[in-house]
Structure 1
Amino acid sequence: MKNSLMTNIFNCEREYLVNFCSINNGPYTWKFSNIHLPDMYLHNFILIEVEFDGIERYINSEIEKAQRNHSSFLRIVTPFQLSNHTIKGLSFNPEEGAYDYMVINTRDFKLLHGNPDCQIERAVSSNIIDDGFLVDKQANQHLEWADFYQRRFERKKKVYEKFDQNFQFYVCYHNNAPIGKVESAFLDEFVKIEDFDILEKYQRKGFGTSVIKHLLKTANSMNINQAYLMTDGSDSAKEMYTKCGFEKAGEVWEYIFFLDK
């Protein structure tokens, strides 16, 4: 990767994912798999770091392996866009998408205001984690995969119940009711912001900004200079991130092959 900032972010991503996934690397590639959540796209994929001769043949061989293992999908992630020529040579036609990585300097917490009418609590007890679970359930209950989101949270809960300083879970309260939650991973060079939700009723009222400010201030006190998150074009919170001062650092493309169609 030519972008050194993105290289550092990908290194942090691996540092984060190792807590949930098994990781194997080969020439130009990294394979991630989560045996507890084999249907979770973000934890089961192959990262191809650079273009190389034979990439089309490589992807087709991985499709064949996934089929032999009766996998329903194969997800490929790249920091570059596959050419139309390569895609036409693949045995399955993928669904293509793009994600932006956005970064901010943690000292910028001083520029944020938010809504002071809330309390942000780190989950240092199972009760607070359970409050976060309620937010997660309410935020995703309308989705077709509500059962998946419950299984995903239960899996992550096992990590956050260790109350490790580097993996912190926060819940945002308004009038003592949980209205938002966010996960954060304090890594070598960054704090990673993950699975951030504010319940729809409380959006656009400054609560999300308050959560971001709290995370940045915490990271800054730990001498971590930058924070990052990943978002896609349909993410309704992207406008808030931009207003808070996040800037695009780079992007990745994903190619999902649905093998059971």
Structure 2
Amino acid sequence: MLSKKQLGEIKQLQLACEQEEAIHLKLNWDMLELRNDQELTDFFHYENEKLVGFLGMYSFGNKVEVCGMVHPHYRRKGIFTRLLKEALAEIKKQEVEVVLLNAPANSYSAQCFLRTVPCQLSFSEYQMKWTEIDLGNEQQIVIRKSTDNDLETEIQLDVECFGFKEEEARNHSKRIRKENTQSYYIIEEDQQPVGKIRVQHLNGEAWIYGFAIFQKYQGKGIGRKALKRIIREQHALGYPIFLEVETENENALKLYQSCGFKTVDGQDYYQLN
């Protein structure tokens, strides 16, 4: 696990980089705070005992996302290139099919660096925040806490809706269930599990993740009713509510916008060749 000192240094460096360019770095703090001592996932560069460069690797099945930063006063010295080289050497030891470099969409320094790397844009996503609107009358929908017996249903939803391979989905589910900041829910229709959704509370915010409905139940309004229920509950608890969606996912984007979500940031993902 990363020490409190290391986590504090990363946070301080993140703030310096974000303030410099008015950006948001996606460092997956829920994963940073639960690192496994058996895996090499984080890479540091210090100068005069000050952390000035950091890179983190985040595994999702056979895919690894990479995100990092260098202090504005220490750029153009090859620091991030060295950190990335170290990370890629570690990735080569693993069964990884896809390496994605994550960068804030409006980061000039990231765009400059990416032009020096053999990669291509894979996809982009919006980070959206809920703005209070009238959600209409609450409609009947059954949403219950997930149990161990629901694991196979959740895996099949990840396979069908998110393109996971079954073993990847199984490993992913086991990993995220170690995080104590998340709540897992099953959506039911006629006493049958038809979807899932999870909510993470982090830094005083509620983030909606893993929202999926089996394809044969889509288009029936089930997802809309479930989303509105979660929004109402989290809003009543006083949380600002966020979610992420791929920019090309028009159906999901329209749903979120109609329920009051507005884009506040963007992230780009470049696949390393």
Provide structure 1 residue ranges, at least 5 long, that are not aligned to the other structure.
none
**In 2 relative to 1, CA 255–179 (structure 1 residues): closer, same or farther, beyond 3 Å?**
same
2:178 match: secondary structure: helix
| Structure 2 residue aligned with 1:75 | 100
Identity over the aligned pairs, expressed in percent?
13
| 1:100 to 2:126 alignment | yes
Distance between the aligned counterparts of 1:31 and 1:237, measured in 2? 29
| 1:39 to 2:62 alignment | yes
Displacement of 1:247 in angstroms is: 0.1
| Structure 2 residue aligned with 1:149 | 169
Matches within 5 A, 1:199-210: 199-210=214-225
Contact residue 48 and residue 76 of structure 1 kept, 8 A: no
Contact residue 6 and residue 249 of structure 1 kept, 8 A: no
| 1:132 to 2:154 alignment | yes
- CA deviations on 1:18-53 (whole Å, 9 max, x unpaired) are 34676666426452445xx57333xx4223377676
Contact residue 20 and residue 72 of structure 2 kept, 8 A: no
Provide structure 2 residue ranges, at least 5 long, that are not aligned to the other structure.
1-17, 45-50
- Which residue type is aligned with residue 93 of structure 1? C
| 1:48 to 2:69 alignment | yes
**1:234 aligned to 248, 254, 266, which one?**
248
1:254 match: secondary structure: strand
**In 2 relative to 1, CA 210–19 (structure 1 residues): closer, same or farther, beyond 3 Å?**
farther
Displacement of 1:206 in angstroms is: 1.6
Contact residue 69 and residue 80 of structure 2 kept, 8 A: no
- Which residue type is aligned with residue 135 of structure 1? L
| Structure 1 residue aligned with 2:5 | none
Q: Which has the higher contact order (CA 8 A, sep 6+)?
A: 1
Of 178-187 and 54-63, deviating more is: 54-63
- Aligned-residue CA RMSD (Å): 3.6
| Structure 1 residue aligned with 2:207 | 192
Displacement of 1:190 in angstroms is: 1.2
Distance between the aligned counterparts of 1:32 and 1:64, measured in 2? 12
| 1:159 to 2:182 alignment | no
| 1:119 to 2:155 alignment | no
Contact residue 43 and residue 87 of structure 2 kept, 8 A: no
Distance between the aligned counterparts of 2:21 and 2:130, measured in 1? 16
Distance between the aligned counterparts of 1:183 and 1:251, measured in 2? 21
Contact residue 125 and residue 245 of structure 2 kept, 8 A: yes
**In 2 relative to 1, CA 4–89 (structure 1 residues): closer, same or farther, beyond 3 Å?**
closer
- Which residue type is aligned with residue 40 of structure 1? K
Distance between the aligned counterparts of 1:215 and 1:4, measured in 2? 33
TM-score, length basis structure 2: 0.70
Distance between the aligned counterparts of 2:129 and 2:233, measured in 1? 16
Displacement of 1:68 in angstroms is: 3.0
2:81 match: secondary structure: helix
**In 2 relative to 1, CA 120–85 (structure 1 residues): closer, same or farther, beyond 3 Å?**
closer
Contact residue 104 and residue 227 of structure 1 kept, 8 A: yes
Distance between the aligned counterparts of 1:184 and 1:151, measured in 2? 19
Displacement of 1:189 in angstroms is: 2.3
TM-score, length basis structure 1: 0.73
Contact residue 52 and residue 74 of structure 2 kept, 8 A: no
**In 2 relative to 1, CA 221–207 (structure 1 residues): closer, same or farther, beyond 3 Å?**
same
Distance between the aligned counterparts of 2:31 and 2:259, measured in 1? 24
- CA deviations on 1:229-249 (whole Å, 9 max, x unpaired) are 111122241111111110000
| 1:173 to 2:188 alignment | yes
**In 2 relative to 1, CA 159–137 (structure 1 residues): closer, same or farther, beyond 3 Å?**
same
**In 2 relative to 1, CA 190–30 (structure 1 residues): closer, same or farther, beyond 3 Å?**
farther
| 1:60 to 2:81 alignment | yes
